[in-house]
């Protein structure tokens, strides 16, 4: 039977080896995303020769699993999770499942599971070229804000490669999060602290825009697969008009121009965030499903 244990930073190297064999377009597919939100998800991990398994233990909800990660015998992997669930008198449930994996599961176990699309968790994916150029009528207002920033501020783009700059980012990020009129997720600050405390071990890329030795904007992410980058954090000081558009453009231009797509994660059902993500005119949404044993 599978042996689950609490997730730790030491799991990253093993997880990444399995992920190389089973790439995804979904933001949940990187170790950092799961690791920094562990205060909410309470994740446990297990592995065998062919798959890496992740168990969610969200407070107040039934335990669930991430779809097995690997490229071995998927039927056997699912049966192992069934066995583990039955031993705990639980029905097998999966979260954040891609359409491709949903179809695989339905082919292996027809009529055994129910499938529910989760719009709030759908990732927004954009053409990198469009994020750099902001061309076209639909992005005209974004381009205006960008041009204002480029023409009116004496700024410097700096990759986050030193502990000193990372600490500055952490302090600024906590300041900006605490300034929000309504903190839409009580775990957001904890996730950011976990992120910055483990930044170098998580193998992330980051950049800031500096104006008079002050951080005007920052962004962080990583390569999701050979075709797509993932942006995990993007924050800007509202006192600098166009800072969001500028950090978005420059980060894509300097770090991800060789990749076709940029994934900017989900909106979590937050109305303002959904409006903002839609305003950049995504090329596609990566749909995700909740799957439960009938």
The secondary structure of 250-261 as a DSSP string is HHHHHHSTTSSE
Q: Over 80: is that where the pLDDT of 184 sits?
A: no
Judge if 148 and 93 occupy the same domain: no
Judge if 135 and 251 occupy the same domain: yes
- Residue 282 within any structural domain of the chain: no
CB 268 within 8 A of CB 120: yes
CB 231 within 8 A of CB 218: no
- Rounded to whole angstroms, the Cα distance separating 47 from 68 reads 9
Angle, nearest 10°, between helix axes 99-108 and 74-86? 80
Q: Over 60: is that where the pLDDT of 109 sits?
A: yes
Give residue 136's pLDDT. 94
Select from 59, 89, 121 the last residue of a domain: 121
Angle, nearest 10°, between helix axes 140-152 and 243-255? 90
- Rounded to whole angstroms, the Cα distance separating 228 from 18 reads 18
CB 237 within 8 A of CB 224: no
- Residue 285 within any structural domain of the chain: no
Select from 121, 153, 178 the last residue of a domain: 121
Give me the domain span that covers residue 216. Answer: 123-265
Judge if 94 and 200 occupy the same domain: no
Phi, psi values for residue 273, rounded to 5°: -70, -40
Q: Which of 36, 119, 112 is nearest to 81 (CA)?
A: 112
Judge if 105 and 166 occupy the same domain: no
Select from 121, 149, 173 the last residue of a domain: 121
- Residue 272 within any structural domain of the chain: no
What six digits make up the tokens of 257? 């121009």
Judge if 100 and 143 occupy the same domain: no
What six digits make up the tokens of 211? 């104006």
- Residue 32 within any structural domain of the chain: yes
Q: Over 70: is that where the pLDDT of 195 sits?
A: yes
Judge if 149 and 21 occupy the same domain: no
- Residue 100 within any structural domain of the chain: yes
Judge if 150 and 72 occupy the same domain: no
Give residue 29's pLDDT. 87
- CA 26 centroid distance within chain: 8
Identify the three-state secondary structure at position 112.
coil
- Rounded to whole angstroms, the Cα distance separating 236 from 172 reads 9
**Which tens digits make up the pLDDT trace of 251-274?**
999 999 999 999 999 999 999 999
In CATH, what number is assigned to the domain containing residue 74? 3.40.630.30
Judge if 16 and 117 occupy the same domain: yes
- Residue 230 within any structural domain of the chain: yes
How many domains does the chain contain in total? Answer: 2
- Rounded to whole angstroms, the Cα distance separating 280 from 136 reads 11
- Rounded to whole angstroms, the Cα distance separating 272 from 147 reads 24
Judge if 218 and 247 occupy the same domain: yes
**Which tens digits make up the pLDDT trace of 7-58?**
999 999 999 999 999 999 999 889 999 999 998 899 999 999 999 999 999 9
Judge if 141 and 79 occupy the same domain: no
Q: Which of 6, 122, 18 is nearest to 68 (CA)?
A: 18
- Residue 256 within any structural domain of the chain: yes
Judge if 37 and 134 occupy the same domain: no
**Which tens digits make up the pLDDT trace of 224-256?**
999 999 999 999 999 999 999 999 999 999 999
**Which tens digits make up the pLDDT trace of 111-151?**
999 999 999 999 999 999 999 999 999 999 999 999 999 99
Judge if 137 and 240 occupy the same domain: yes
């Amino acid at each position: 039977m599978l042996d689950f244990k609490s997730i730790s930073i030491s799991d990253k190297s093993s997880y990444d080896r399995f992920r190389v064999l089973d790439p995804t377009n979904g933001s949940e597919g990187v170790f950092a995303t799961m690791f920094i939100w562990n205060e909410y998800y309470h994740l446990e991990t297990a592995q065998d020769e062919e798959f890496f398994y992740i168990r969610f233990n969200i407070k107040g909800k039934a335990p669930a699993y991430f779809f097995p990660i690997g490229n071995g015998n998927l039927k056997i992997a699912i049966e192992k999770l069934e066995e583990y669930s039955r031993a705990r008198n639980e029905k097998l449930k999966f979260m954040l499942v891609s359409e491709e994996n949903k179809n695989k599961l339905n082919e292996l176990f027809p009529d055994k599971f129910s499938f529910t699309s989760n719009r709030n968790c759908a990732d927004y994916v954009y053409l990198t070229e469009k994020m750099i150029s902001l061309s076209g009528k639909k992005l005209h207002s974004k381009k205006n804000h960008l041009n204002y920033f480029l023409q009116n501020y004496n700024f410097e783009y700096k990759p986050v490669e030193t502990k000193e700059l990372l600490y500055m980012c952490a302090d600024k990020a906590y300041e900006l999060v605490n300034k929000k009129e309504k903190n839409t997720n009580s775990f957001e600050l904890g996730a950011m602290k976990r992120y910055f405390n483990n930044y170098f071990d998580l193998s992330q890329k980051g950049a800031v825009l500096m104006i008079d030795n002050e951080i005007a904007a920052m962004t962080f992410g990583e390569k999701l697969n050979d075709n797509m980058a993932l942006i995990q954090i993007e924050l800007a000081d509202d006192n600098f008009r166009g800072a969001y558009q500028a950090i978005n453009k420059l980060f894509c231009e300097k770090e991800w121009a060789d990749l076709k797509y940029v994934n900017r994660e989900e909106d979590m059902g937050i109305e303002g965030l959904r409006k903002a993500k839609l305003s950049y005119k995504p090329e596609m949404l990566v749909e995700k499903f909740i799957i439960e044993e009938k």
